[in-house]
Copies of this chain bind each other. A is one copy, B any other.
Amino acid sequence: MVNQVQTVDDTWRRCSKSDSSGASNSGGESSKESSRSSTPVLDTDRTDRLRDKMRRRTESGDHWFSLEFFPPRTASGAVNLISRFDRMGSGGPLFIDVTWHPAGDPGSDKETSSMMIASTAVNYCGLESVLHLTCCNQTKEKITGYLSKAKRLGLKNIMALRGDPIGTDWEEEEGGFNYATDLVKHIRCEFDDYFDICVAGYPTGHPEAQSYDEDLKHLKEKVDAGADFIITQLFFRADTFLKFVRDCRAIGITCPILPGIFPIQGYQSLRQLVKLSKLEVPEEIMRVIEPIKENDAAIRNYGIEHAVGMCRMLLESGEVPGLHFYTLNREVATMEVLRQLGLWIEDPRRPLPWAVSAHPKRKVEDVRPIFWASRPKSYIYRTQDWDDFPNGRWGNSSSPAFGELNDYYLFYLKSKSSKDALLKMWGEELTSEKSVYEVFTSYIMAEPNQAGHKVMCLPWNDEPLAPETNLLKDELAKVNRRGVLTINSQPSINGKPSSDSIVGWGPPGGYVFQKAYLEFFTSSENVTALLQVLKKYEPRVNYHIVNVQGQNTTNAHDMQPNAVTWGIFPGREIVQPTVVDPVSFMYWKDEAFALWIEQWAKLYEDESPSRMIIKYIHDNYFLVNLVDNDFPLDNCLWQVIDDMFELMPAVLLDIHSLY
C-alpha cells in the first residue's frame, strides 16, 4: 500500500455517465460494460461478492485473514509468485490483493504487471483478489481503461488509492484525480456497483494530513463516496488500531476496518518500510531488534512472536473479524503467525476435487475432463474463451473449441525449474527408452535417479505426486519400470465421507466416489497386447488409445463422457466434477504429446541421441487411458497391465524386463 492524502473536493460529484460518452475507446467500452453490469446474471452474483462474504463471516463470529502481494520484477519471479499463490491459497485466505506499481507498466499484458498477476490469481489460482489502483497523474480515460480491462479479466474488487505523485512538486489538478475519493467516485460513476471497493486507513493519521482528525474526515469521505471496506496501514501496537477503529465509528464510519499486519521479517525490510510509510517504530521493539539486527532468523522469530501477540489482542477485542497481512511476497513468517493463531486451514475443505477458478463467468462450472487434472491452469487457459461452462453434465454444454497452445500460455505454465535442474532430474544424457522409464519410476518413488538427483516433476506433472496418487505408488512404480509411463491416475473410492482428509471434497455430510483411472504412454507392442487383453474386461473397463497422428481405438462407442469422480450431498443433485470425455481427449492428446518435445526433447541438442530417443517415443508410443467402471470392487487395472505383460512375446518381455 502506498501513501495517500486527500482533501474535500466536489469536482467528481459532478461526474455522470454522459461524461465518458465522448471519451476514448476505453471510455466507450466502459459505458457498454456498465450497462451490462445490471443484467440479472450479475444480480444473482451478489451473494458471492467479497463484501457479502466478509459480512457473512463477520456475522458468524468466524475469524479470517487476507494476504497482500506485490508484482514481481521478472518473468521467473512471476512463475514463483503464482506457485506461492497456490500454496498460500491452500491456507484459506478470504482474499489476496496485488499492489499497483505505476513504474512497472501495471495495466499491461506483461507477465509481471499488476493486472496480469491479479488476473492469474483469480482465473488460474481461484483466489478472490483485490487489484490496487492508483489514480495520481492519470487521465480519466486511462483509469476507465484499466477498470474495464480488470472487469473483462474477471476482477471484481479494487483497492482505490491516490498513489505517490511523480516528483516532489505535486499540485492539485483541475478536473483530475487528486485524491482516492475521486477514484472511488469515478469507479461508482462509471461502473455502478460492479466493483467492491476498498480504501486505505491510517491508524496514526496519514503523514501528509494536517491532523489525525482531518485524516479521519478524509477517510469518511472515501467511504461515503462508495467504498465498501477499509484496510489500514501497518502499525505496531494493537491499541493504535483499536483506538483508530473507535474514532472511525465515532464519526459514523460503519464499514469493516481490517488491520494491516506486518510481521517483522528482517532489519533492512523493516527500516525500508518504515521510511516509506513515515511510521515510527516503538522503542520497545527497537530495543529488542537493534542487538540482533545481524541475525535474520532471530529477528524473524521475534517478528512472528510480536505479530501473534498483537493479533491475539486484536481478535480478542471483538472489534476485529479479520486480519490483513503484508506478506512482502514471503511465505514463512505469515504462515507461521496464521498457524499459531489457528487461522491457517491446513486441510481446507475443497468445494470440488479441482481448484475452482474465481472468474465470475466460471461460477457454475462444476465438471471438467480428468486429463488436465495435473495441469489445471492449462485447462483454464484453453477454455478461457468459452461462453458458458458445463454445469452438472459435461455432455450438455461442452465446447469442442479448446484454445491452442501458444507462447504466452507456455510462459504461465512452463516448468518452474531451470533447464539445468531439469537435465539433472530427467538425465543429462539418455541412452535408451529405458533411461526414460527410469526417470518416470524415480518420480513416482520420490527417490533419487542414478545420478543422485530427486525427480520432482515431469512435463505432465509440475508437482510431486498428490497424496491420493501416492496411495498407488508401488503399483505405479512397478509398471513404469516396464515401460507403462503413467502420467495420471486415481484409485477407486466407494463412498468415503466428504470430509476425508485425502480424497474428500464438497460440503459436509456427503460421500465421494471415484472410478479407478490410469493414463499412460506405452509402446505399440504393448498396445497390441493390451487390446487383446481388454477383450476379457468388457464392459468393465473403458479405454481410449491414441497415437500422435490421432489413430484412435476405443470401446466407448457412443462417445459419451464417463463420470469418474462424483459426490452425493445432503439436499443436492449429484455432483460429478470429473469425466473421461472422448471428445476432449483428442485435444488433450495434442498437448500431452507436445510436452514430450517442448519440455523434454528440447533440453538436448538437435540430432543428439537423447533428443532422438524422446522424439522416438513421441512419434511411436500411444497414449492410453483406462477406466475401471466397477468402483465397489478392487481396482482391476493393475491386473489388466499384468495380463498385458504376460501376453508379450518372450523375447520382447526379456528386453523390457531387464531392469
User: Which parts of A509-557 form the interface with B (CB within 8 Å)?
Assistant: 509-511, 513, 539-540, 542, 555-556
Contact A570–B391 (Cβ < 8 Å): no
User: Known: A391-B393, A630-B509. Contact between A563 and B570, CB under 8 A?
Assistant: no
Q: How far is the CA of A558 from the CA of B632 in the complex (A)?
A: 32
A4 contacts partner chain B, Cβ-Cβ < 8 Å: no
Task: Name, among A494, A540, A566, A571, the residue most crowded by chain B CB atoms within 10 Å (CB to CB).
Answer: A571
Contact B568–A573 (Cβ < 8 Å): no
Q: How far is the CA of A558 from the CA of B571 in the complex (A)?
A: 9
A148 contacts partner chain B, Cβ-Cβ < 8 Å: no
Q: How far is the CA of A395 from the CA of B393 in the complex (A)?
A: 12
A441 contacts partner chain B, Cβ-Cβ < 8 Å: no
Contact B568–A568 (Cβ < 8 Å): no
Number of copies: 2
Q: How far is the CA of A253 from the CA of B535 in the complex (A)?
A: 39
A388 to chain B, nearest CB (A): 12
Residues on B with beta carbons closer than 8 Å to the beta carbon of A123: none
Q: How far is the CA of A337 from the CA of B574 in the complex (A)?
A: 44
A396 contacts partner chain B, Cβ-Cβ < 8 Å: yes
A354 contacts partner chain B, Cβ-Cβ < 8 Å: no
A510 to chain B, nearest CB (A): 8
Residues on B with beta carbons closer than 8 Å to the beta carbon of A509: 539-540, 629-630
Question: Which residue of the partner chain, among B395, B494, B556, contacts A495 with CB atoms under 8 Å?
Answer: B494
Question: Which residue of the partner chain, among B494, B563, B569, B632, contacts A574 with CB atoms under 8 Å?
Answer: B563
Residues on B with beta carbons closer than 8 Å to the beta carbon of A392: 392-393, 395-396
Contact B571–A542 (Cβ < 8 Å): yes
Residues on B with beta carbons closer than 8 Å to the beta carbon of A555: 571
A232 contacts partner chain B, Cβ-Cβ < 8 Å: no
Q: How far is the CA of A555 from the CA of B571 in the complex (A)?
A: 9
User: Which parts of A553-602 form the interface with B (CB within 8 Å)?
Assistant: 555-556, 558, 560-563, 566, 568-574, 576, 579
Question: Which residue of the partner chain, among B508, B576, B629, contacts A571 with CB atoms under 8 Å?
Answer: B629
A535 to chain B, nearest CB (A): 15
Chain B: CB-nearest residue to A570: B629
A394 contacts partner chain B, Cβ-Cβ < 8 Å: yes
A631 contacts partner chain B, Cβ-Cβ < 8 Å: yes
Question: Which residue of the partner chain, among B540, B542, B561, B568, contacts A566 with CB atoms under 8 Å?
Answer: B568
Contact A556–B571 (Cβ < 8 Å): yes
Residues on B with beta carbons closer than 8 Å to the beta carbon of A574: 563, 566, 574, 576
Query: Which 5 A-B pairs rank lowest in CB-CB distance, beginning with the nearest?
Result: A570-B629, A392-B393, A563-B573, A539-B570, A542-B571
12 other A-B residue contacts (CB within 8 Å) besides A494-B495, A563-B572: A391-B393, A391-B396, A393-B393, A510-B629, A511-B631, A558-B571, A560-B573, A562-B571, A566-B568, A566-B574, A568-B631, A573-B576
Tell me the A residues contacting B by CB distance below 8 Å: 391-396, 494-495, 508-511, 513, 539-540, 542, 555-556, 558, 560-563, 566, 568-574, 576, 579, 627, 629-632
Pairs across A and B, CB under 8 Å, 7 listed = A392-B392, A509-B539, A509-B540, A539-B571, A560-B571, A561-B572, A563-B574
